[in-house]
Amino acid sequence: MGPRWKGKNSEAIALADPMSKITARLQSSLIQSETEGFLSGCVVLLSVEPEQIDLLNRACFGRPIITTDKDKQWFQISLEEAFYLCHSLKCLKILDENKCAKNGNELWECMKSKKKTFPEFYVAYSNLKKKNWVVRSGSQYGVDFVAYRHHPSLVHSEYAVLVRSECDGDYDKNFRLRVWSDFQCTVRLCGSVAKTLLVLNINTNGCNEVSLSHLDHCSVEERTITRWSPEQCREDLTLVKGGISYI
Amino acid sequence: MEVEAWESSSDGTADSEVDLQDIEDDEHLCMSGSIPKLQFRKDVSKARWDVEMGMAEVIEKKGGMWTTTGIVRRSKVYCSIEETLFLAERGALILFDINDMVLSLKDMYEMVAEGRSGCSWDSFEAYRHLKSLGYIIGRHGVNWSVKNDKICSSSTCIGGTEESSRISSTEMKEDFSITNHLGDMQINEKPAFDVYLPNSKFRKSSPGEPNFMVYLTRDNPPSKAEIESLERSCKGVPLKFCHVEHGRGYKNLHPVRTMRSPPRRLRHPGLTDRS
Q: How many CB atoms lie within 10 A of CB B17?
A: 9
Residue A20: the pLDDT is 95
The one-character DSSP state at A7 is S
| pTM, rounded to two decimals | 0.81
C-alpha count within 13 angstroms, C-beta hemisphere, residue A58: 21
Contacts for A114 with CB less than 8 Å, ≥ 6 apart: A39, A41, A42, A79
pLDDT for residue B167: 39
The CA–CA distances, whole Å, from A108 to A117, A211, B191, B237, B244 equal 12, 8, 30, 40, 21
CB contact under 8 A, A156 and B23: yes
The predicted pLDDT at position A178 comes to 86
Cα angle B53, B56, B62 (rounded to 5 degrees) comes to 160
Nearest to A7 by CA among A109, A152, A144, A124: A152
Write out chain A residues lying below 8 Å of B114, CB-based. 97
State how beta strands B102-103 and A93-95 pair: unpaired
The confidence score (pLDDT) of residue A171 equals 56
Closest residue on chain A to B21 (Cα): A193
Phi, psi of A165 (to 5 degrees): -125, 140
Nearest to A206 by CA among A195, A215, A217: A217
What is the residue-level pLDDT of chain B in tens, covering all 275 positions?
Answer: 333 333 333 333 344 444 444 444 445 566 666 677 777 677 899 999 999 999 999 999 998 899 999 999 999 999 999 999 999 999 999 999 999 999 999 999 999 998 888 899 999 999 999 999 999 999 998 999 997 655 444 433 333 344 444 434 444 544 544 444 444 444 357 889 999 999 999 999 999 999 999 998 877 788 888 888 888 888 889 989 898 887 554 333 333 334 444 333 333 333 333 33
pLDDT score of A199: 95
Residue A197 to residue A243: CA distance in whole angstroms: 10
Closest CA to B9 of A218, A12, A234: A234
Query: Which stretches of chain A are DSSP H helices?
Result: 10-16, 19-32, 50-59, 79-83, 104-114, 118-130, 180-192
pLDDT one-digit tens code per residue, A126-167: 999 999 999 999 999 999 999 999 999 999 999 999 999 875
pLDDT given at position B247:
58
Mutate to test the interface with A, among B1, B11, B24, B29 (most CBs of A within 10 A): B29
Which residues of chain A make contact with B244, given a CB cutoff of 8 A? 42
pLDDT for res A237: 60
Check if A41 contacts B (Cβ < 8 Å): yes
Active site residue A195: yes
pLDDT at A235 over 80: no
Domains for chain A: give ranges and CATH numbers.
1-115 (3.40.1170.20), 116-246 (3.40.1350.10)
Q: State how far the Cα of A210 lies from the Cα of A200, in Å rounded to an integer.
A: 14
Taking residues A82-100, report their average pLDDT: 92
Instruction: Tell me: pLDDT of A22 over 90.
Output: yes
Residue B254 has a pLDDT of 36
| Interface test with chain B among A4, A26, A35, A69, by most B beta carbons within 10 Å | A69
Catalytic residue selected from A93, A115, A156, A173: A156
A227-A146-A175-B246 Cα dihedral, nearest 10 degrees: -160
Q: Determine whether the interchain pair B249/A63 forms a contact, defined as Cβ–Cβ distance below 8 Å.
A: yes
| DSSP assignment letter at B221 | P
pLDDT attached to residue B88: 96
Nearest CB neighbour to B246, from listed A53, A78, A157: A78
What is the sign of the dihedral through the CA atoms of B4, B9, B13 and B14? positive
Model pLDDT, residue B249? 40
DSSP characters over B141-162: T--SB-THHHHHHSTTSTTHHH
Q: Do B34 and B24 meet the contact criterion of CB atoms below 8 Å apart?
A: no
Measure CA of the first residue to CA of the last residue in chain B; give whole Å.
Answer: 35
User: Strand A134-137 relative to strand B136-139: parallel, antiparallel, unpaired?
Assistant: unpaired
Phi and psi at residue A90, to the nearest 5°? 50, 45
**pLDDT for position B32:** 62
Domains of chain B: 3-265 (3.40.1350.150)
- Closest to A165 in 3D by CA, of A128, A226, A122: A122
Q: Which of A141, A148, A150, A151 is catalytic?
A: A148
This complex has an ipTM of 0.87
Separation CA A59–CA A36 (nearest Å): 18
Is there a contact between B9 and A230 if contact means CB atoms under 8 Å apart? yes
Strand (E) or helix (H) holding B49? strand B45-50
Which tens digit of pLDDT belongs to each residue from A42-64? 999 999 988 899 999 999 999 99
Q: Please tell me the distance from the alpha carbon of residue B85 to that of residue B91, in angstroms, as a whole number.
A: 10
Q: DSSP state, B128?
A: H
* Best A17, A121, A140, A149 residue to mutate vs chain B (most B CBs within 10 Å): A140
* Residue A223 contacts B where some CB pair is shorter than 8 Å: no
- Res A241: pLDDT: 56
Concatenate the DSSP letters of all residues of A71-87 into one string. Answer: S-EEEEEEHHHHHIIII
Cite the DSSP H helix spans in A135-198: 180-192
Q: List beta partners, residue A163.
A: A200
pLDDT score at A27: 96
Residue type, B86: F
CB pairs under 8 A between A and B: 146
Contact between chains at A78 and B2 (C-beta distance less than 8 A): no
Residues of B in contact with A191 (CB under 8 A): 15-16, 18
Residue B149 has what pLDDT?
55
* Residues on chain A touching B30 (C-beta within 8 angstroms): 57, 153
